């Protein structure tokens, strides 16, 4: 946007006119020792707790207390099918059909379960391609899959790297890799939004490239779900995984989500690990029946769902359903653009934003490099009442989340940063 303005008055006016402004009051905002609200900019790491979460979890505790095992059938939200209460809302968040989405397990566990089905190495096609600065857990997971199948985890791993002197990845380089080595690559597994730079990748473009060369394609959307328009169904990706404790505000270590494209919904030929929750729900409790796989993403479940975690997810998803991703993304782009505008006033000789400036290539996270700064700067920001996020070697990540961050907070953050940089 070109109509951003300097000064606190502009920020206050934007907050006054913000149609989502009441949602901030629906979250617990952490306070410092003086009792003031932190300027909390780390929803990209752990989202804040919705005030309603407690009542959602308490409902299940009460039903457990009063009903015992009968809660599976008689609870207000019967536990037996609790995951089904989340599916439609989650599908809208990630741009998928309900049959393509399931909430289960945790992020890296889901990645492994997906690779059981979609990493199918052969003697000549066994390599895995990831971005060079992938989130460490993704790298460790794919390396272990290579070793598990008997391959060398260095030889079998292909890294999509930025060009010398650059931080962002270039699609032409990916095309070159696939032209040269595509027939050796079994799986492309990319973070949908890179955790370090905040670069939001073109999932459809990557998927089309991968499929053109005979590779399966999956994405880790931990930093994308609830943040950017993932449009997973339209991307054509074979699978995707994500967590729910960042932008989806479901609590530390909460359950993750899985997407499996509907073209795989009825494929019984796909190898997979199974358990009784992937068995036909109509006959699941007959116990002695032969395995009868459910269609769709549900068919990748193993165990009955952990209800207390799902209750926290439901509390947040109900809010997302009420607001809708379109409104969230619209505010996110305006709020993050304002943040970028203010940071640029500090001068390019002082501040470098490594996150793409193109709105379609980022979410709400900006990754900031400050010239000649180290972690001491991050510590000073914390002392000034700002919760941001330090990533080695020299990046501060800040994410103004549209559900609970305000224009005034962004203004005050930059003012505090300016003051710290000006002090000797």
Taking only the tens place, the pLDDT of each residue in 308-366 is 999 999 999 999 999 999 999 999 999 999 999 999 999 888 899 999 999 999 999 99
Phi, psi values for residue 147, rounded to 5°: -65, -40
Read off the pLDDT of residues 266-277 as tens digits, 9 standing for 90 and up: 999 999 999 989
pLDDT per residue as tens, the chain (424 positions): 468 999 999 999 999 999 999 999 999 999 988 889 999 999 999 999 999 999 999 999 999 999 999 999 999 999 999 999 999 999 999 999 999 999 999 999 999 999 999 999 999 999 999 999 999 999 999 999 999 999 999 999 999 999 999 999 999 999 999 999 999 999 999 999 999 999 999 999 999 999 999 999 999 999 999 999 999 999 999 999 999 999 999 999 999 999 999 999 999 999 999 998 999 888 888 878 888 899 999 999 999 999 999 999 999 999 999 999 999 999 999 999 999 999 999 988 889 999 999 999 999 999 999 888 888 888 999 999 999 998 888 899 999 999 999 999 999 999 999 999 988 6
Phi, psi values for residue 336, rounded to 5°: -70, -35
Please enumerate in sequence order all residues whose Cβ is within 8 A of that of 128, keeping only pairs 6 or more positions apart, or say none: 119, 142, 145, 146, 156, 157, 158, 185, 186, 187, 188, 189
C-beta of residue 238 within 8 angstroms of C-beta of residue 258: no
Q: Is 324 helix (H, G, I), strand (E, B) or coil?
A: coil
Q: Under the phi-then-psi rule, with left for phi > 0, alpha for psi from -120 to 50, and beta for the rest, what region is 385?
A: left
Whole-prediction pTM: 0.95
Q: Quick one: CA torsion of 403, 407, 412, 415, rounded to 10 degrees?
A: 130
Read off the pLDDT of residues 149-202 as tens digits, 9 standing for 90 and up: 999 999 999 999 999 999 999 999 999 999 999 999 999 999 999 999 999 999
Domains along the sequence of the chain with CATH: 8-44+325-422 (3.90.1150.10), 58-322 (3.40.640.10)
Determine the Cα–Cα distance for residues 357 and 361; give it in Å rounded to an integer.
Answer: 7
Determine the Cα–Cα distance for residues 113 and 100; give it in Å rounded to an integer.
Answer: 15
The pLDDT of residue 2: 62
Phi, psi values for residue 398, rounded to 5°: -130, 135
């Amino acid at each position: 946007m070109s109509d951003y303005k300097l000064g606190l008055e502009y920020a206050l006016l934007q907050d006054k006119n913000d149609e989502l402004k009441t949602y901030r009051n629906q979250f617990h905002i952490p306070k410092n020792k003086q009792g003031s609200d932190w300027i909390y900019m780390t929803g990209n790491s752990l989202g804040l707790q919705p005030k309603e979460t407690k009542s959602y979890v308490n409902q299940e505790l009460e039903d457990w207390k009063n009903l015992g095992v009968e809660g599976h059938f008689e609870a207000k939200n019967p536990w037996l099918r609790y995951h089904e209460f989340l599916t439609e809302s989650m599908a809208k968040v990630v741009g998928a059909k309900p049959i393509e989405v399931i909430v289960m397990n945790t992020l890296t566990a889901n990645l492994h379960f997906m690779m059981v089905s979609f990493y199918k190495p052969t003697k000549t096609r066994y390599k895995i391609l990831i971005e060079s600065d992938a989130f460490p857990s993704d790298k460790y997971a794919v390396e272990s899959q290579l070793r598990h199948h008997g391959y060398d985890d260095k030889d079998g791993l292909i890294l999509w790297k930025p060009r010398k002197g650059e931080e962002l990845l270039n699609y032409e380089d990916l095309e070159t890799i696939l032209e040269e080595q595509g027939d050796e690559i079994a799986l492309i597994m990319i973070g949908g939004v890179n955790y370090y730079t905040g670069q939001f990748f073109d999932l459809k473009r990557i998927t089309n490239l991968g499929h053109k060369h005979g590779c399966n394609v999956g994405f880790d959307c931990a930093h994308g779900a609830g943040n950017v328009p993932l449009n997973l169904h339209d991307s054509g990706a074979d699978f995707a995984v994500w967590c729910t404790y960042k932008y989806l505000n479901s609590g530390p270590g909460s359950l993750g989500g899985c997407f499996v494209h509907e073209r795989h919904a009825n494929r019984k030929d796909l190898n997979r690990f199974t358990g009784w929750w992937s068995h036909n729900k109509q006959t699941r409790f007959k116990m002695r029946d032969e395995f009868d796989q459910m269609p769709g993403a549900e068919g990748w479940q193993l165990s009955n769902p952990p209800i207390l975690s799902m209750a926290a997810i439901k509390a947040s998803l109900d809010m997302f359903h009420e607001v809708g991703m379109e409104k969230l993304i619209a505010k996110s782009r305006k709020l993050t653009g304002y943040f970028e505008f203010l940071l640029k006033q500090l001068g390019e000789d002082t501040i470098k934003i490594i996150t793409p400036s193109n709105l379609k290539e980022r979410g709400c996270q900006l990754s900031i490099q400050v010239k000649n700064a180290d972690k001491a700067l991050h510590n000073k920001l914390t002392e000034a009442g700002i919760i941001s996020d330090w990533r080695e070697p020299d990046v501060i990540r800040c994410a103004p989340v549209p559900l609970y961050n305000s224009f005034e907070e962004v203004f005050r953050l930059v003012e505090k940063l300016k003051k710290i940089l000006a002090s000797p």
